[in-house]
Structure 1
Amino acid sequence: MKHVPELFYLPEMLTNEYSINFGTTQVGRNLDSVKLPPWAQTPVDFIHKHRMALESEHVSAHLNEWIDLIFGYKQLGREAILSNNMFLYITYEGTVDINKISDPVQQCATRNKIAYFGQTPSQLLIVPHMKKMPLSETIFRNPRAVKPYAVPRPECCNLPASAIHACSDALIIVGTNAPAAHIAQHKWQPNTPDDQGTPFMFEHGKAIASSAGGALIRMLKMPAGSGSDEEQFPQALAYASSGIRSSSIVSITCDKEIVTGGHADNSIKLLSSDGAKTLETAFGHCAPVTCLALSPDNNYLVTGSRDTTVLLWRIHRALTSSSSSTSEATADPGTPTPTTGTLANTLAEKSRKHRIEGPIHVLRGHHNEVICCCVNSDLGIVVSCGHSSDVLLHSIRKGCLMRRFAGVVADTVCLSSAGIILTWNQSQHVLRTFTLNGIPVATAKVPSFGGLSCMEISVDGNSALIGMNSSSNGVLHVLKLGKGQDIAALALDKDNTNLLVSTADKQLIIFTNPTLSKKMAEKKPKVGRENGREETQGW
């Protein structure tokens, strides 16, 4: 796990990048870039340390005290006097009505006093503001307390995996033969101890051997009488293109659906997790898709191809039964003009037919095959890299090329929620971070005997998970696996409390802090007693 600096403002605002003439000071010195204090090495370091101080646990723990003074119960009255929080009387809201002052000189003087002394904000609270909850027990906060737990009966887990997705109630695992991969959906509940002493509950998914697609694949590709356990899960019907990494062409949505590339017909497909059925097929590339990625909010999909282009798609969420029932309730059959209901049904039917919309933009600039891409809709940025070519940044809104990181060759790229780009160069064995303007932030050299298998940045953008087949230097903490347990895929749950790792020897290992599940277990009975009933745990 490597720490990734997060920025609040871009550090470029502190530098005179375009050599603008701002004049001189009173002593004749030219005004140029902001002069940094001795404790800041670079503008990036200056912004980062301010962000860390403002969001530290100490500041967060006392933030309510500041709110009480400015907006809360300590703004007025006896509590304000005890807190030495008194100001000029005319600065308080409602104390003086300017329009009722008849003397123009007195009215002007009062206006000037208010203008010079300022205005006290409106009082919003008359009771103490509650304290901010302490930071959750993520695996990054106390990594030494994190322990590995192997999932029992791993032969029933569809391993090794090319992609893993952890929800609050389910675990989706896609096999390594993507796009013609087996898909398993398991039930699990994180941070909830079971009766075996494990800090999570896990129930293996049921195999669907009668799936038509899986039966056809077995008939065409599997030897007769093959009894391996992974074949019991449904398998997607696909014709794969050769020479493409399976982990690069699989992504799992928040609706528990799978998007795959690498098909021989140059398409991308949307699959169901409960039966590996093809829900939708979309075309746009002139060559097989070699990489794809979803935005964190699952609204956009970006795909790279051997045709050297990157395509941007829009993803529509699956319609739930509640939304469809609402649309039906809107259209009253007794009214003579059901135009609104008809239009809603038409749009719903259209979105139901076309879950993958696009391509919206064709992003150009690479000269060779695109090998990795990522997208963030909040930042409005698409980042991509190709074989022996620069890292490119494109705009989501216009699809234009915004920046080229000249000379930065990467085999894998990741984009954090704060606008930090993390790159990995396999030949140089170097991890590097950049701002969106291409300014280098940090560099970490990895030993030459180490190989990076997968890389992911946490949702908050503060940390990165790097799956390697050997230990590395310059990291925050190393979670070591057993001998020969090369990492095939890894995933974080939403609150960063569980790290799921699939290994090449078909093991599923979950790293978590066991004390968190104990705290959760202690809270649940207390909540049940307060509500006058006993909480029971079930699926």
Structure 2
Amino acid sequence: NKVRDDVYQSILTNNLPNLLEYGNITALTNLWYSGQITNFEYLTHLNKHAGRSFNDLMQYPVFPFILSDYVSETLDLNDPSIYRNLSKPIAVQYKEKEDRYVDTYKYLEEEYRKGAREDDPMPPVQPYHYGSHYSNSGTVLHFLVRMPPFTKMFLAYQDQSFDIPDRTFHSTNTTWRLSSFESMTDVKELIPEFFYLPEFLVNREGFDFGVRQNGERVNHVNLPPWARNDPRLFILIHRQALESDHVSQNICHWIDLVFGYKQKGKASVQAINVFHPATYFGMDVSAVEDPVQRRALETMIKTYGQTPRQLFHTAHASRPGAKLNIEGELPAAVGLLVQFAFRETREPVKEVTHPSPLSWIKGLKWGEYVGSPSAPVPVVCFSQPHGERFGSLQALPTRAICGLSRNFCLLMTYNKEQGVRSMNNTNIQWSAILSWGYADNILRLKSKQSEPPINFIQSSQQHQVTSCAWVPDSCQLFTGSKCGVITAYTNRLTSSTPSEIEMESQMHLYGHTEEITGLCVCKPYSVMISVSRDGTCIVWDLNRLCYVQSLAGHKSPVTAVSASETSGDIATVCDSAGGGSDLRLWTVNGDLVGHVHCREIICSVAFSNQPEGVSINVIAGGLENGIVRLWSTWDLKPVREITFPKSNKPIISLTFSCDGHHLYTANSEGTVIAWCRKDQQRVKLPMFYSFLSSYAAG
């Protein structure tokens, strides 16, 4: 243990940009309480603080069972009866189960009181309700058995064979029934994958898990009827259930059991929530003198599971009901009382009905972004002609929007944000405009308004640059060329050069045979998508700088591409044989979710970016006739059209602001138009910065 502590201390002495300080839990709870982070994010952070990690099967993050209904065709997320009882451990969801566990505890308590007998190799331990645990390596591998590399780990764990078919994870309903009612020893909770990763429910590799006693072959996991046999839909609905008002108000009770005051002591006995003593945080193995007992204890800790570190010692606060989102209705300077006075005198708001995202699921939330079907209609709040066509619009995490000329790329780095999302604001540390397309094939940088551009990179004659993309965190620059080669440049900030940046190394990525027409970086998922005249569309891994896969099946070259920051989904557009465009939606792992034909040509696409679970994001398409059409990212149903009678020119670029409150569009004549929700016209507009071709000239 001393070695471990020394290593830990020496790690802490380094400058760790992503270090999550243990201890600032109050700030975290406040963010959650005020609705600034979702239930999913909050539980993820609590798991981290309690010592859980995706790198340790024995202390894997633990998530709660949320629903108790895995048999109905339809669901109403506003109906409390479809949820599990979050104030009780999973094994005692039904009153009639409680007595058996209480009796076990009483019996063990008696034995413990009697004390050890002389000849007993294992003296009695402190009493407990459950001899097994809600999270351990066996549980995690049981759920992830279909997904490499976990399959291999499972086989190593099970003497190189899969489990008995009836015991293999084969049905969500069976898993719920066993945990909550049918089995005395199975007290599993869930893993985070149930809320974001459809792939683990599918037997993509075609493993032979054998045949169950009823003659059914174990293959993909059987899903509830309300998921319509679609793993992606199951995960999306399940994530919305986790973010429902009912769960938001009651998840505090589950936190009490797993991370809080009902984890130990008298409260844990009353809550029927006591596990084997070997599973608790801080069990000191080295204090046991007898080598046999010590080995037995070590084995128990390795196999039983471990209870998370206790984070709270008093009852956790409940999150209030539907949150008061006054933001943006009146200027912030107006006091709260005045705002409430204003609210009282308003007309009673009529309940507007909007289409449900899925007809058989009630209570799904579209979200608060501009254009959301459940939000007030979008209205124009900004319009500015520039007289020159932009190449692209880009939303920055500082809330600003940039309009960039056709051969410009915005390079910037941000001050590293410590800790939790949105605790600190994002500040720009360094920025510059990169321009290309010069006769001498030099990429030039301009970082100061008053000074002319500086030569930055000389690209070779055969690699004429046609497009660029920048990754802020890692200072990576990607260029696409006329011949189809992509070059990745690794750079670092330095004070020794006038441009304050220098290129350290470069590497070529091969996959296309003709001109690269677009590069799209999706930083949260560390991928880049490149498209080319030759009709190919390739996904690259930004961390390893290697090919991942091609998105195949486009009948003509991809003309527009975008990736979602929240889900990693990828949208591609190509011309359709009979006119108009085809829009395709792919998962980050390259599965085609669906495609839809659009009679008009789609000139540009962008995703809305609101948190998953509390929103159903849309793909916004800028059409050739000046209209913006929105499609649901769940099933590509068209959900809204945003039209501006005065503008009917093609929309060549569009983007949502980083908070989703504004949608900016640029048309082929250089006019930039911004939209906001009708009820947010008084909200401060994001700053708009334009960098037109003249910027790089002087």
One of 348, 362, 369 as aligned partner of 1:138: 369
Q: Deviations over 1:369-402 (max 9, x none)?
A: 1112223355343321212422222333444433
Q: Which residue pairs with 1:411 in the alignment?
A: 559
Alpha-carbon offset, residue 518 of structure 1: 6.1
Q: TM-score, normalised by structure 1?
A: 0.61
SS in 1 for 2:233: helix
Alpha-carbon offset, residue 362 of structure 1: 1.0
Moved more, 40-49 or 89-98: 89-98
Higher relative contact order (CA 8 A, sep 6+): 1
Q: Which residue pairs with 2:529 in the alignment?
A: 383
Query: Cα 1:77–1:351, aligned 2, differ >3 Å: closer, same or farther?
Result: farther
SS in 1 for 2:255: helix
One of 490, 503, 508 as aligned partner of 1:362: 508
Q: Which residue pairs with 1:481 in the alignment?
A: 644
Q: Which residue pairs with 1:149 in the alignment?
A: 380
Matched, 1:174 2:393: no
Distance (whole Å) between structure 2 residues aligned to residue 76 and residue 7 of structure 1: 28
Cα pair 1:308 1:366 within 8 Å, conserved? yes
Q: Which residue pairs with 2:91 in the alignment?
A: none
Distance (whole Å) between structure 1 residues aligned to residue 598 and residue 531 of structure 2: 20
Q: Deviations over 1:258-289 (max 9, x none)?
A: 23333333343333373584144313352432
Distance (whole Å) between structure 1 residues aligned to residue 619 and residue 292 of structure 2: 64
Q: Deviations over 1:443-493 (max 9, x none)?
A: 12211xx22222223455844332223455732322212243432432332
Instruction: Give 2:443's aligned amino acid.
Output: I
Matched, 1:510 2:674: yes
Distance (whole Å) between structure 2 residues aligned to residue 304 and residue 55 of structure 1: 41
Q: Which residue pairs with 1:349 in the alignment?
A: 496
Q: Which residue pairs with 1:206 in the alignment?
A: none
Residue identity over aligned pairs, in percent, reads: 25
Cα pair 1:268 1:282 within 8 Å, conserved? yes
Query: Cα 1:425–1:301, aligned 2, differ >3 Å: closer, same or farther?
Result: same
SS in 2 for 1:441: strand
Q: Which residue pairs with 1:465 in the alignment?
A: 620
Instruction: Give 2:517's aligned amino acid.
Output: I
Q: Which residue pairs with 1:334 in the alignment?
A: none
Q: Which residue pairs with 1:163 in the alignment?
A: 392
Cα pair 1:88 1:117 within 8 Å, conserved? no
Query: Cα 1:308–1:78, aligned 2, differ >3 Å: closer, same or farther?
Result: same
Q: Which residue pairs with 2:211 in the alignment?
A: 24
Distance (whole Å) between structure 2 residues aligned to residue 304 and residue 115 of structure 1: 50
Matched, 1:422 2:585: no
Distance (whole Å) between structure 1 residues aligned to residue 525 and residue 371 of structure 2: 24
Alpha-carbon offset, residue 119 of structure 1: 6.1
| 1:230-269 correspondence runs (5 A) | 255-269=430-444
Instruction: Give 2:673's aligned amino acid.
Output: I
Alpha-carbon offset, residue 120 of structure 1: 5.0
Q: Which residue pairs with 1:432 in the alignment?
A: 584
SS in 1 for 2:239: helix
Distance (whole Å) between structure 1 residues aligned to residue 475 and residue 487 of structure 2: 14
Query: Cα 1:146–1:126, aligned 2, differ >3 Å: closer, same or farther?
Result: farther
Cα pair 2:399 2:658 within 8 Å, conserved? no
Cα pair 2:378 2:677 within 8 Å, conserved? yes
Q: Which residue pairs with 2:664 in the alignment?
A: 500
Query: Cα 1:118–1:382, aligned 2, differ >3 Å: closer, same or farther?
Result: closer
Query: Cα 1:315–1:132, aligned 2, differ >3 Å: closer, same or farther?
Result: farther
SS in 1 for 2:496: helix
| 1:65-80 correspondence runs (5 A) | 65-75=253-263
Instruction: Give 1:295's aligned amino acid.
Output: V
Matched, 1:124 2:124: no
Instruction: Give 2:211's aligned amino acid.
Output: T
Distance (whole Å) between structure 1 residues aligned to residue 194 and residue 304 of structure 2: 34
Distance (whole Å) between structure 2 residues aligned to residue 95 and residue 283 of structure 1: 58
SS in 2 for 1:499: strand
Instruction: Give 2:202's aligned amino acid.
Output: T
Instruction: Give 1:173's aligned amino acid.
Output: G
Structure with the bigger percentage of strand: 1
Alpha-carbon offset, residue 431 of structure 1: 0.9
Q: Deviations over 1:388-426 (max 9, x none)?
A: 422222333444433233333422222334332211112
Distance (whole Å) between structure 2 residues aligned to residue 467 and residue 457 of structure 1: 12
Distance (whole Å) between structure 2 residues aligned to residue 415 and residue 254 of structure 1: 25
Query: Cα 1:391–1:7, aligned 2, differ >3 Å: closer, same or farther?
Result: farther
Cα pair 1:159 1:508 within 8 Å, conserved? no
Query: Cα 1:481–1:357, aligned 2, differ >3 Å: closer, same or farther?
Result: farther
Distance (whole Å) between structure 2 residues aligned to residue 120 and residue 482 of structure 1: 61
SS in 2 for 1:495: coil
One of 513, 525, 547 as aligned partner of 1:401: 547
Distance (whole Å) between structure 2 residues aligned to residue 143 and residue 150 of structure 1: 20
Cα pair 1:159 1:506 within 8 Å, conserved? yes
Q: Which residue pairs with 1:213 in the alignment?
A: none
One of 464, 475, 483 as aligned partner of 1:288: 464
**Structure 2: runs of 5+ lacking an equivalent:** 1-192, 326-366, 411-427, 632-636, 686-698
Alpha-carbon offset, residue 122 of structure 1: 4.0
Query: Cα 1:453–1:263, aligned 2, differ >3 Å: closer, same or farther?
Result: farther
Over the aligned positions, Cα root-mean-square deviation in angstroms equals 4.5
Instruction: Give 1:366's aligned amino acid.
Output: H
